[in-house]
Structure 1
Amino acid sequence: MKEFLRELTIQADNPGVSTGQNQWAGHGKVLESYSPVDGHCIANTQVASREDYDAVIRQAQVAFEVWRLKPAPLRGDIVRQMGQQFRQHKQALGQLVSYEMGKSLQEGLGEVQEIIDICDFAVGLSRQLYGLTMQSERPDHRMYEQWHPLGVVGIISAFNFPVAVWSWNAMIAWVCGDVCVWKPSEKTPLTGIACQNIIREVLRNNEVPEGVSCLVLGGREPGEWIASDARVALVSATGSTRMGKAVAEATGRRLGRCLLELGGNNAIIITPEADLAVAVPAIVFGAVGTAGQRCTSTRRLIVHEKIYEDLKQRLQKAYTQLRIGDPMEATHHVGPLIDQQAVDDYQAALETIKAQGGTFVIEPGTLTGSGYESGCYVRPCVAEVENHWDIVQRETFAPILYLIKYATLEEAIALQNGVPQGLSSAIFTLNMREAERFLSAAGSDCGIANVNIGTSGAEIGGAFGGEKETGGGRESGSDAWKTYMRRQTNTINFGHSLPLAQGITFEL
């Protein structure tokens, strides 16, 4: 067994259900986790049955009754202790993320660092869950608002960030007084078990009620149970737009709340006044990092016609330097796609690009032979296309970069906005007017808009999320915490009479 698996107590016949301190094997079918790095089966578990799921929700409801009454700074201190545990296990968990998901070890370690960072953020937040005081129109009255915990928060996470996105939700929800039920991707279940194992000692030492941190493993079904369950106050779902629409429909039918982080079709605009020495590394990392499997991956490159050929040549040179292989080796830039279905989607997209008239300036392909036995390794590629083509309008979770030419900034912004998704965007320019236009109300329509940095990656201090078919959700920093709480407006009459609204008199 690999040493990092031993450290995280990931073994065969892993439990598929956990309520924090306690865990047990689910009663559903066996779920095997295969590494896209080498194709080996890492471990297996039995997924949750409907009975398992209901038991978890009942336990979470009981835990909420206790957890919500603990002072927020105390909840924050428990999250601080969790952050310390993740610091101690950063190397091992980062290795597991890299091995089970296929991203580079540096990215795996960076993802664990995001957990640590959001723990630190949540600790400070636990003393800053502010409400407002408003002026009443009635004499001797005071109005103010306060925020209360929602209840059970369901977290449905995707394979590409198997632990970070869970932490963005869970750490904030916990300091807000909520309890969490996490359904990780069926493609990366072991990282979910590892996170529960890492924080278990903290939960026990602080006598945290069992059910504050729950884990339910499985595929589509547990996600559907969470989305349709009126006992779940908020459903935070990360994944495809198709999945997000199903979650929104299910929660909408019961008038529930949902927080959606869905697909991206992110573009970078390169103007004639861009510093290309800064732009090219951002483009390449955005396009090929995590093998193009980030929701913030750069999909489209919108380049001014004056510098189009120059930039194309720079990209061709940069792409020849990419090393593809085992992501746990530091010398490799690009690891595998998550599984064979992702490879099939990549190949189908290539055929569609050709059929619609696209030209590859950096050729695609799949890799076989020694070091590529899993069959999940592909070549990052670049294609010249038109923005309105169907294939360009869709998100393909693979390292395919579309190259598009423009003449005016207004045209470039229209191209950038001219897709159904609205997550991340960027412009490279040293012209202040161009930058400010891009950031104005007439500029990017995305939830994230950057100047002279790429589309990929975000700091936890800012609210993360996007518009249009990206779902409109916001996680992590800023005031995203309000999503996990309910607002209550309070009015206090400290006078000796009861003035009624709108001047109404009512005498007895």
Structure 2
Amino acid sequence: MINEELKSLGIENHHKGTSTGTAWFGSGDRIESRSPVDGKSIGHVSCTAMPDYERAITTALSAKSAWSNLPAPNRGEVVRQFGEKLRLHKNELGRLVSYEMGKSYQEGLGEVQEMIDICDFAVGLSRQLYGFTMHSERPAHRMYEQYHPLGVVGIISAFNFPVAVWAWNAALALVCGNVIIWKGSEKTPLCSIACQKLLTEVLTANHLPEGISSICTGSADVGRWMAEDARIDLISATGSTRMGKQVAATVATRLGKSLLELGGNNAIIVTPHADLKMTIMAAVFGAVGTAGQRCTSTRRLIIHEDVYEHVRDALTSAYQQLKIGTPLDTENHVGPLIDTDAVKHYLSALSEIKKEGGTLLVEGQVLQGEGYESNCYVKPAIAEVENHYAIVQKETFAPILYLIKYRGEVSEAIALQNAVAQGLSSSIMTNNLQEAEHFLSHRGSDCGIANVNIGTSGAEIGGAFGGEKETGGGRESGSDAWKAYMRRQTNTINYSNTLPLAQGIKFNF
């Protein structure tokens, strides 16, 4: 089904990692990539063993100086060419993302478009890696700040965005003068190889050394090697809060830098002043898009009692119209979960909802029969719950939407929204200016992303992406997120013939 796309992307149906000219590393055990769409095997990939990992590191270190010594606009030109390469292969890569991960083909195309957009952003950034000039307290002195490359950036990404999140990090890290090593999810290894292959073609065409970009494939062991390795200056890790805590603790023991993008437990507040048609659209897409497997997926709907019944009934009606099936069919709204382990977590969450006293308004189930042979398709569920339930406090990576009622002012709804450990994305649906501004104030949402009259899911690359609390505090993509990939340096220049000291200190001899 996907063979033509694999050939177009330069990778065959069965894969063994090599190093020369391709810069991916694997001589260890082979893992199988099996599509959640139809349960069929796409191919096999050899995992990275420790000798392979060492070669990846030494190759990256050997390329570091050559790459960082290129002027930033020249590095931007290479990234621009990569963006053009992605434009040429957008359809094939989008289809591979859809088939290997399970999201809809339209979402797969959107993910590749994110890669193109961040390349465009990075190209412009390559001419604006700016510092600041400050006035010195000492006469005939000049003081300023500048930014330098860190060196080696390690990227650990998750299955749900198998290409875009890497590109967010890779495009910025590269224009900032770093070399990169990527551990993609072992659940979507062919997406990683395809991206590396395309970037390698650009690097080779520009006569640049191997090691500027490398990938390592495997289980959590590879991620642990990266986190422990003092030769890697920054670890950017995207995934669960549990994983992020392990990475943060390991990197901290060597006083390294980490950039964390972790779990979300995102809520939409629906006030009596909301446009309810827009609300339903935002809630349904946010809850069922990517089968609920986005870190920004809508998990909770906090609804004022005056409009609660209307929203509840409209949602349950909308869910009856959802089409569930192969994501390669653009008529379908919901594809599969990533694997049968994810299905088990989904079923466990439904069981916990009932145990804690919640009511399932739309019952969930695993779908079987023709078209569902992978056993990864599930029915999106809606449950009436209380915000304090233990299951509600967790992030369940599945299409389960919790309805929670509030009765007072918008401050009560905000308190409910903030009363979880995660702090990624949030939204309020209201046409009341006071409610909107309250939500966006320091007394409002405690999340890294706060939206008005749009959902929690879907972020533009121009803004910094990330969250607070157990979401990790990192920022990727737009705005000044590039600073995370560079080291900051303050410079003072004395152009006088004397040596005045700061703070007026006198030192005579």
Q: Counterpart of 2:396 in structure 1: which amino acid? A: T
Cα distance in 1 between the residues matched to 2:157 and 2:498? 54
CA deviations over 1:393-418 (Å, ceiling 9, x no partner): 00000000000000121110000000
Identify if the C-alpha distance between structure 1 residues 233 and 478 changes in structure 2 by more than 3 Å, giving closer, same or farther: same
SS state of the match for residue 483, structure 1? helix
Partner in structure 1 of residue 456 of structure 2: 455
Indicate conservation of the 8 Å contact 1:86/1:112, yes or no. Answer: yes
Q: Is the contact between residue 68 and residue 178 of structure 2 (CA under 8 Å) also seen in structure 1?
A: yes
- 1:29 alignment counterpart: 29
Query: How far does the alpha carbon of each residue in 1:308-351 deviate from its partner, in whole angstroms, 9 at most, with x for none?
Result: 00111110111111000000001000000000000000000000
Once the two structures are superposed, the pairs formed by residues 331-410 of structure 1 within 5 Å of their partners are: 331-408=331-408, 409-410=410-411
1:391/1:18 Cα in 2 relative to 1: closer, same or farther (>3 Å)?
Answer: farther
Could you tell me how far apart the structure 1 residues matched to 2:204 and 2:425 are?
40
1:287-324 alpha-carbon deviations (Å, 9 max, x no partner): 00000000000000000001100111110111111000
Measured on the aligned residues, the alpha-carbon RMSD in Å equals 1.0
SS across alignment from 2:361:
strand
Contact 1:14 1:25 in 2 (8 A): no
Partners in 1 of 2:17 and 2:164 — Cα distance? 20
Could you tell me the TM-score, scaled by structure 2's length? 0.98
Paired residue type of 2:244: G
SS of match in other structure, 1:31: strand
Contact 2:32 2:45 in 1 (8 A): yes
Partners of 2:200 and 2:213 within 8 A in 1: no
Q: How many pairs were matched up?
A: 507
Question: Structure 1: any 5+ residue segments left out of the alignment?
Answer: none
CA distance in 1, matches of 2:201, 2:376: 37
Deviations 1:164-220 (A, max 9, x none): 000000000000000100000000000000001112221011112211111111111
| Whole-angstrom distance in 1 between the partners of 2:318 and 2:406 | 22
Flag the 1:23–1:133 CA change in 2: closer, same or farther, 3 A: closer
Residue identity matched to 2:131:
G
Structure 2 stretches of 5 or more lacking a match?
none
After superposition, the C-alpha distances for 1:110-129 in whole angstroms (9 at most, x for unaligned) are 00000000000000000000
Report the Cα distance in structure 2 between the residues aligned to 1:119 and 1:24, rounded to whole angstroms: 22
Q: Which residue of 2 aligns with 1:53?
A: 53
Q: Is the 8 A contact 2:24 2:196 kept in 1?
A: no
Deviations 1:60-104 (A, max 9, x none): 011111111100000001000000000000000000000000000
How far, CA to CA, are the matches of 2:12 and 2:202 in structure 1?
A: 22
| 1:242 aligned counterpart, secondary structure | helix
Is 1:251 equivalent to 2:251 in the alignment? yes
Matched residue, 1:421: 422
- What is the alpha-carbon distance in structure 2 between the residues aligned to residue 303 and residue 394 of structure 1? 20
How far, CA to CA, are the matches of 1:339 and 1:227 in structure 2? Answer: 26
* Matched residue type, 1:289: G
2:8 maps to: 7
Q: Does 1:506 align with 2:504?
A: no
Q: Which 4+ stretches in 1 moved above 4 angstroms?
A: none
Provide Cα deviations, 1:360-393, integer angstroms capped at 9, x if missing partner. 1111111000000000000001000000010000
Question: Kindly tell me: are residues 437 and 25 of structure 1, through their superposed partners in 2, closer, same or farther at Cα, counting changes over 3 Å?
Answer: closer
Q: Which residue of 2 aligns with 1:289?
A: 289
Q: Secondary structure at the match of 2:259?
A: strand
1:471 aligns with 2:472: yes
The one-character-per-residue Cα deviations of 1:414-450 (angstroms, maximum 9, x if unpaired) are 0000000000000000000000000000000000000
Decide whether the 8 Å contact of 2:25 with 2:53 is kept in 1.
no
Residues 17, 47 of structure 1: 8 Å contact kept: no
Q: Percent identity?
A: 65
Q: Which residue does 1:492 correspond to in 2?
A: 493
Give the structure-1-normalised TM-score. Answer: 0.99
- Once the two structures are superposed, what CA deviation does each residue of 1:132-154 show, in whole Å capped at 9, x if it has no partner? 00000000000000000001000
1:30-63 deviation line (CA, Å, top 9, x unaligned): 1110000000110001101011001100110111
Following superposition, the deviation at residue 17 of structure 1 comes to 5.2
Distance in 2 separating the partners of 1:327 and 1:151? 39
Aligned equivalents of 2:198, 2:95: Cα separation in 1 = 14
User: Does the 8 Å contact 2:22/2:197 carry over to 1?
Assistant: no
**What are the residue-to-residue correspondences of 1:269-348 with 2, within 5 Å?**
269-348=269-348
> 2:306 aligns to what SS in structure 1?
coil
Q: Decide whether the 8 Å contact of 1:12 with 1:45 is kept in 2.
A: no
> d(CA) in 1 for partners of 2:201 and 2:7?
17
